[in-house]
């Protein structure tokens, strides 16, 4: 009998458990520096390979998705549905964060706020963000891995290929071939996922294992309860009612991507696995190849929850009670700021600066959570990529329904 191959989800799960055990052991033995010096570099190599493959995957998959639709109006309709869905779920996410923060506010520790210092990064204005979306030359977006600009290039080139008509066949064949080449390259890199997960997570646990059970444990717990509640309520309802899929099937299919997101803390890094997971659940490839890269750039539900919880926590540490108008301002600021936030580790801190500034809270408070930001980041990345996947299920089902109505 042929031996059954262990699934990628199970391999990643085993790597996750081993990383936690090894990290705790190394931490207890005061060998966190050893993990950082000799284990983390292999995780960085794996993350670098993922970052390398993300740019061509985004470029060719979005172009291929647009060309396969062969109708600019259809692309526009899918894009509109996607953006509306992302903005709505982000608004719900920040509301979950604010509700959770207020419910658990009494349990938050009273930490000393004297001698706090945090150099706030100058937030980019909305108009600057809008201008920066459009590239000034063809090379810099690829060199800098500026995903918003790469998406714009993909859309413009994709539309142009459709508009030149029948002459586009060699180009279409070439783009489809390049997509296949990079997808195959992605498969080879993903085989290293368990090793990458272990090497990325082990040093984090070794360095912060005991700190997690320290004074910020309640804040972390609150954030993770809100992450879980948002996924179980918002995504389950959306996937079931609009996406026509059993939520259990959805979450089971998303397990490999969710576990990888937890260890890598990078929405962009998880994109290749997310593409594989959604397509295995039956989502149309033309939808997933367009919606997921866009979501990895502009959809930050987990980050939005983090803003709500941290804003309440920082306010309580400084003895400030947030008013209802301030909370509404947090919802609006976090929702709009998420569009310009890149899907890379640590982006939540930049966004938090913008939110605190908008409601007049001291940005020095970020110093209270910056030390354990990575621990928040792992959970919020899981929420971010799960939200992207739920959107593909919803949009794919809506497009199938529209096609059926047209066929009648």
pLDDT per residue as tens digits for the range 277-322: 998 898 888 888 888 888 877 788 888 888 888 888 888 877 778 8
Report the percentage of the chain scoring pLDDT > 90.
12
How far apart are alpha carbons 106 and 112 in whole angstroms?
A: 16
Of 187-191, 379-383, 393-397, least confident by mean pLDDT is 187-191
Confidence of residue 342 (pLDDT cuts 50, 70, 90): very low
pLDDT, tens only, 138-179: 888 888 777 668 878 888 888 888 888 888 888 888 988 888
List CB contacts of 28: < 8 A, sequence separation 6 or more. 209
Report the percentage of the chain scoring pLDDT > 70.
83
Confidence of residue 21 (pLDDT cuts 50, 70, 90): confident
3-state helix, strand, coil in the chain (%, to 5): 80, 0, 20
Mean pLDDT, rounded, of the chain: 80
**Cα angle at 361 between 357 and 365, to 5 degrees?**
105
As a whole number, mean pLDDT of residues 40-52 equals 83
8 Å CB contact between 330 and 359? yes
Q: What pLDDT is stored for residue 258 in this prediction?
A: 92
Q: At 181, is the secondary structure helix, strand, or coil?
A: helix
8 Å CB contact between 376 and 223? yes
Between 227 and 16, the higher pLDDT residue? 227
Among 321, 334, 379, residue whose Cα is nearest residue 95 = 334
| pLDDT for residue 123 is more than 60 | no
In degrees to the nearest 10, what's the CA dihedral of 8, 393, 91, 65? 90
Of 77-86, 205-214, 254-263, 364-373, least confident by mean pLDDT is 205-214
Of 87-96, 277-286, 328-337, least confident by mean pLDDT is 328-337
pTM comes to: 0.73
| pLDDT for residue 337 is more than 70 | no
């Amino acid at each position: 009998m042929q031996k059954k191959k262990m699934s990628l989800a199970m391999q990643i799960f085993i790597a996750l458990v081993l990383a936690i055990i090894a990290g705790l052991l190394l931490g207890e033995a005061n060998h966190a520096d050893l993990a950082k010096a000799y284990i983390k570099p292999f995780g960085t190599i794996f993350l670098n390979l993922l970052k390398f493959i993300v740019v061509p995957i985004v470029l060719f998959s979005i172009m291929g998705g647009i060309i396969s639709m062969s109708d600019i109006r259809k692309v526009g309709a899918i894009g509109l549905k996607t953006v509306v869905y992302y903005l709505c779920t982000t608004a719900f996410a920040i509301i979950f964060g604010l509700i959770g923060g207020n419910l658990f506010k009494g349990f938050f520790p009273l930490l000393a706020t004297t001698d706090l210092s945090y150099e706030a990064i100058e937030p980019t204005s909305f108009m600057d963000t809008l201008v920066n979306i459009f590239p000034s030359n063809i090379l810099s977006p690829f060199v800098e891995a500026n995903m918003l600009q790469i998406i714009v290039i993909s859309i413009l080139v994709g539309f142009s290929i459709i508009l030149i008509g029948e002459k586009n066949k060699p180009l279409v064949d070439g783009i489809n071939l390049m997509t296949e080449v990079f997808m195959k390259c992605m498969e080879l890199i993903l085989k290293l996922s368990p090793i990458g997960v272990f090497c990325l997570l082990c040093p984090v646990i070794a360095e912060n294992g005991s700190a997690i059970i320290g004074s910020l444990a309640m804040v972390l717990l609150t954030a993770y309860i809100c992450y879980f509640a948002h996924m179980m309520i918002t995504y389950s309802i959306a996937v079931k009612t609009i996406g026509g899929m059993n939520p259990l099937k959805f979450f089971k299919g998303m397990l490999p991507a969710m576990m990888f997101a937890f260890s890598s803390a990078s929405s962009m890094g998880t994109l290749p696995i997310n593409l594989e997971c959604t397509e295995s659940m039956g989502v149309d490839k033309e939808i997933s190849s367009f919606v997921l890269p866009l979501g990895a750039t502009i959809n930050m539900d987990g980050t939005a929850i983090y803003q709500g919880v941290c804003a309440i926590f920082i306010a309580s540490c400084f003895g400030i009670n947030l008013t209802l108008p301030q909370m509404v301002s947090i919802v609006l600021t976090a929702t709009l700021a998420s569009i310009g936030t890149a899907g890379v580790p640590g982006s939540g801190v930049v966004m938090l600066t913008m939110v605190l500034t908008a409601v007049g809270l001291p940005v020095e408070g970020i110093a209270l959570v910056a030390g354990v930001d990575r621990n928040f980041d792992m959970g919020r990345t899981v929420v971010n990529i799960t939200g992207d996947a739920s959107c593909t299920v919803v949009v794919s089902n809506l497009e199938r329904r529209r096609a059926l109505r047209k066929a009648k």
